[in-house]
Structure 1
């Protein structure tokens, strides 16, 4: 064998060995990880909308500024809402005074107390009338027996009967008075309940006015960054109008779109390694948090319809949410939702490879 042939055989052996090594490494990687570059950084983005209509008098924030929870975002002129609060509070206090809830007995309370007293008096009068009638009935029956025996005169018998008739009539009147007093008491108590409902309604309106006055000052609900500000002082806004967006600085996560041929190996709790395109030299650790219950195509505006004669199979994508673990503070200030990322998930095969 000549020297040239030996060199060629050696080079071929090196190339073949290199290709085998590369293929083995590629096989080992594919059996250990599933990866995708169809991924992006995600976060909480809150649209801030006006809760009330009015003229904006203050906007102390600008685009891209960081705000803390409770910081003022904008303020609407509150004169109208303050006057409304004062008016409803006065109406509520007037109802309380009329109902005797302000420390002074109200007219309706006095009517109820008077009706109760009249009802009790009528009940007592009815009881006394019933007792008198029973006595008169006994006297009349005894007088009839004595008259039949000739012991009592006809005049005395007529007197006993007249007394019995008079007391019978008196009892009827007493019963009617007792029923009327009871009805009057019920009516006054019903009116008192209606008055309580009026007070409750006035109190609810008062609380609504307090909430509206408080809503003239809109503050940040969390630590976040202001973006897409679309409001300036002097501008008239209407309730529900979007004025700006808030991008929360925490939490941040990765939304990775894996192929359906890959997602079969992905499980919740598996470790992941994330590289953001903006910082290629740093890898972030993460963990699989959840998998979407349907492919992305099912959530599109016009889902693909396969029940036709012309069918082309397309590999579908499934969203996987990956939580980032312990992101350094200096990177938290730089990471933004929407940044592209490359994701590797430790999805071991039967050999049990892991990160």
Structure 2
């Protein structure tokens, strides 16, 4: 009797286990079927790739002048606003050059004032000589008339030769005085012209010195390095009192104003369904529950391998056919605040709907 009850209990347990196992297997098969169908539909409707990363502009902050770093006003990974002071370079040498250039400019302008005064003085002198010319000419005309009278008197023996010679000498003196007055007048005009030529040359020199002052002003301003736009600083590799050279990279800043985008490397067999302006769905590995969208901005003009340092050459004889990748640039939708958590280099999964005719 006990043996019969035991067998009955065992059979019931086996049947129960068998039912549970069958149910679990059925559920697994159904789940696998749903997953398989969903995967097939996904591949049917979308082109997908996980060879994609977030990208944004990371620009260098470069020193425009040579000097010692006086102060550093940022820390690694610090958020900065446009115009924030990042680095101050010692400007003692450039400030001295600026003062020297300003003093030279003031000296040149003072020389212009002196030349203008010389032009005025020479003009007044020329007017005096012009008056003397008129007086000398009147005297010369009078002496010429006097000489003509005495010459006629001498010819009729009404005047002596001594009187004629005396009048002739006076005429020669009058002519000399007239010529001297005219030469002096011309000399004074030449001085005016010389002063004006010097003034023109000095005006050109003033412009040159003004350019030097502007250049020195710029050099002084370059000693204060500010953030060119809103962004986030990268790694800090400089220290105070360090000597930096013009053109040296001092830091890197991530540009938040330019936005963020995704570079998705699709296979060459996938891009036939893609068009500029088409919407893409994006899932970031770091935030799997956060789904983003974007617009296709452009497709690369060549495969990624063609832009590499050593492009492959299939004519060498080592040809192995490999599906090439075409970089596709996708602009992320959203405000800077919404995309703030995303960093350049993060891996993402991208899917683009196929357009079927």
**Fold shared, TM-score > 0.5 on shorter chain:** yes
CA spacing shift, 1:277–1:114, aligned 2, 3 Å = same
User: Match for 1:221 among 222, 228, 238?
Assistant: 228
Q: CA RMSD in A?
A: 4.0
User: Match for 1:190 among 191, 197, 205?
Assistant: 197
Aligned pairs for 1:205-354 within 5 A: 205-250=212-257, 251-327=259-335, 329=337, 331-350=338-357
CA spacing shift, 1:28–1:182, aligned 2, 3 Å = same
**Residue 8 of structure 1: aligned partner:** none
C-alpha distance in 2 between matches for 1:129 and 1:294: 93
C-alpha distance in 1 between matches for 2:287 and 2:61: 30
CA spacing shift, 1:265–1:116, aligned 2, 3 Å = farther
**Residue 111 of structure 1: aligned partner:** 118
The alpha carbon displacement at 1:80 in A equals: 2.3
C-alpha offsets along residues 55-84 of structure 1, whole Å, 9 cap, x if unaligned? Answer: 222112211111111222121222222232
CA spacing shift, 1:80–1:22, aligned 2, 3 Å = closer
The alpha carbon displacement at 1:321 in A equals: 1.6
C-alpha distance in 1 between matches for 2:292 and 2:201: 65
Is 2:105 aligned against 1:97? no
Name the SS for the 2:260 alignment partner: strand
Is 2:38 aligned against 1:25? no
C-alpha distance in 1 between matches for 2:51 and 2:128: 89
Name the SS for the 1:36 alignment partner: strand
CA spacing shift, 1:26–1:54, aligned 2, 3 Å = closer
Is 2:98 aligned against 1:85? yes
Unaligned runs of 5+ in 2: 1-29
Name the SS for the 2:241 alignment partner: coil
Q: 1:139–1:160: 8 Å Cα contact kept in structure 2?
A: no
The alpha carbon displacement at 1:309 in A equals: 4.4
**Residue 58 of structure 1: aligned partner:** 71
Larger Rg: 2
C-alpha distance in 2 between matches for 1:262 and 1:129: 105
The alpha carbon displacement at 1:318 in A equals: 2.5
Q: 1:249–1:332: 8 Å Cα contact kept in structure 2?
A: no
The alpha carbon displacement at 1:111 in A equals: 1.8
Q: TM-score, normalised by structure 2?
A: 0.72
C-alpha offsets along residues 1-27 of structure 1, whole Å, 9 cap, x if unaligned? Answer: xxxxxxxxxxxxx9xx98995686256
The alpha carbon displacement at 1:186 in A equals: 2.9
Aligned length: 324
The alpha carbon displacement at 1:262 in A equals: 2.6
User: Match for 1:43 among 44, 56, 81?
Assistant: 56
Aligned pairs for 1:142-221 within 5 A: 180-221=187-228
CA spacing shift, 1:248–1:175, aligned 2, 3 Å = same
The alpha carbon displacement at 1:292 in A equals: 2.6
Name the SS for the 2:250 alignment partner: strand
The alpha carbon displacement at 1:179 in A equals: 5.2
Q: 2:303–2:325: 8 Å Cα contact kept in structure 1?
A: yes
C-alpha distance in 2 between matches for 1:164 and 1:313: 115
User: Match for 2:81 among 58, 68, 89?
Assistant: 68
C-alpha distance in 2 between matches for 1:234 and 1:126: 74
The alpha carbon displacement at 1:166 in A equals: 8.5
Unaligned runs of 5+ in 1: 1-13, 101-106, 351-355
CA spacing shift, 1:248–1:18, aligned 2, 3 Å = closer
Name the SS for the 1:282 alignment partner: strand
C-alpha distance in 2 between matches for 1:55 and 1:83: 16
